[in-house]
């Protein structure tokens, strides 16, 4: 049995699934009061691993503000993973030409990104003086080194092979990032879908090296202009465009919130991971997610 299957089997057995009838019978026997006695761990903890999660905050200083910084960073990591999960579901459905079904995970991804953006509010209190109280203890640790964020960027089509180099000593992480770079991005699969739907997508776009970052092409832009020309209720491609636009916009908002957070806490200081900090982030903002969805609006 695979390890993931084993974990799932163990988890299911520990949680003890019940039927609606059993729930009703239990509520009747307790007079509607919650169950207070269990043979082992509380089922909620078995399912969510909450006790484990709350042991993962190990600040390096006694400064109370560091706990906010650490926990918000961990929350963002979870949202990176959750958003990637939804986008992979959408990608699988798009490859199968199930456009309507792909809308649900894309819309969920947009909402997850909105929640991710809200996490920045938990750090809005931080000034340079606040950050400097514990920053030196972080050493070279930097959000630039988030493997899950790189996975999300690569899936959205923002690709740079050099950015996986920090993970070479983490062989499993490195292999997963390399595999993601070698596979089509979500946008690559959307463009391939347009071609299958009869739009004139040039061969050089469909046959390009997907490990390289996508460059905007007028043929793809023209296809989206045609898609949006049909405002009928059955135009699932237009709905797909809207859902993708929301994902791109929310992701862009996260990047902008990152820029503002760095401005607020560091100014133009050198980044902890060795980059130029604010200047590097500002340059990266020029790389656009799903570029033809935006440029097509000029011709609509």
> Which one has a higher pLDDT value, 107 or 14?
107
Residue 36 lies inside a defined structural domain of this protein: no
Residue 162 lies inside a defined structural domain of this protein: yes
Instruction: Say whether 214 counts as a known binding-site residue.
Output: no
How many residues comprise the chain? 300
pTM across the whole model? 0.89
Identify the weakest region by mean pLDDT among 4-18, 29-43, 149-163: 4-18
Residue 120 lies inside a defined structural domain of this protein: yes
For residues 60 and 21, what is the distance between their CA atoms, to the nearest angstrom?
50
Q: How does pLDDT run across 177-198, given as a tens digit for each residue?
A: 999 999 999 999 999 999 999 9
CATH of the domain at 86: 1.20.58.480
Sign of the Cα pseudo-torsion (125, 133, 79, 84, in order)? positive
Residue 229 lies inside a defined structural domain of this protein: yes
What is the model's pLDDT at position 170?
95
- What's the domain count of the chain? 1
* Residue 208: domain span: 66-298
Residue 235 lies inside a defined structural domain of this protein: yes
What is the model's pLDDT at position 293?
97
Q: How does pLDDT run across 122-131, given as a tens digit for each residue?
A: 999 999 999 9
For all residues of the chain together, what is the average pLDDT?
A: 90
Residue 54 lies inside a defined structural domain of this protein: no
What is the model's pLDDT at position 35?
79
Residue 194 lies inside a defined structural domain of this protein: yes
Residue 280 pLDDT class (50, 70, 90 cuts): low
Residue 60 lies inside a defined structural domain of this protein: no
Report, as an integer, the average pLDDT of 44-61. 93
For residues 89 and 189, what is the distance between their CA atoms, to the nearest angstrom?
12
What is the model's pLDDT at position 4?
43
> Which one has a higher pLDDT value, 140 or 251?
251
What is the model's pLDDT at position 18?
86
Instruction: Say whether 49 counts as a known binding-site residue.
Output: no
Residue 6 pLDDT class (50, 70, 90 cuts): very low
pLDDT above 60: residue 73: yes
């Amino acid at each position: 049995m695979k390890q993931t299957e084993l974990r799932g089997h163990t988890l299911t057995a520990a949680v003890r699934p019940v039927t609606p009838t059993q729930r009703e019978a239990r509520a009747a026997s307790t007079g509607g009061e919650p169950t207070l006695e269990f043979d082992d761990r509380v089922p909620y903890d078995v399912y969510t691993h909450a006790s484990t999660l709350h042991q993962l905050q190990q600040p390096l200083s006694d400064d109370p503000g560091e706990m906010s910084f650490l926990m918000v960073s961990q929350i963002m990591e979870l949202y990176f993973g959750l958003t990637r999960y939804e986008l992979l579901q959408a990608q699988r459905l798009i490859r199968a030409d199930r456009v309507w079904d792909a809308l649900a995970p894309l819309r969920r991804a947009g909402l997850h990104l909105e929640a991710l953006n809200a996490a920045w509010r938990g750090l809005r209190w931080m000034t340079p003086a606040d950050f400097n109280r514990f920053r030196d203890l972080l050493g070279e640790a930097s959000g630039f080194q988030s493997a899950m964020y790189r996975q999300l960027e690569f899936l959205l089509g923002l690709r740079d092979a050099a950015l996986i180099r920090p993970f070479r000593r983490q062989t499993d992480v490195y292999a997963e990032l390399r595999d993601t770079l070698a596979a089509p991005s979500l946008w690559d699969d959307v463009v391939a879908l347009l071609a299958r739907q009869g739009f004139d997508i040039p061969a050089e776009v469909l046959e390009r090296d997907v490990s390289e970052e996508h460059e905007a092409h007028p043929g793809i832009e023209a296809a989206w202009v045609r898609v949006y020309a049909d405002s009928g209720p059955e135009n699932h491609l237009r709905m797909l465009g809207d859902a993708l636009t929301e994902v791109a916009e929310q992701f862009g908002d996260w990047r902008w919130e990152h820029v503002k957070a760095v401005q607020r806490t560091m100014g133009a200081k050198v980044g902890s991971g060795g980059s130029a900090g604010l200047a590097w982030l500002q340059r990266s903002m020029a790389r656009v997610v799903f570029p033809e969805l935006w440029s097509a609006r000029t011709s609509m």
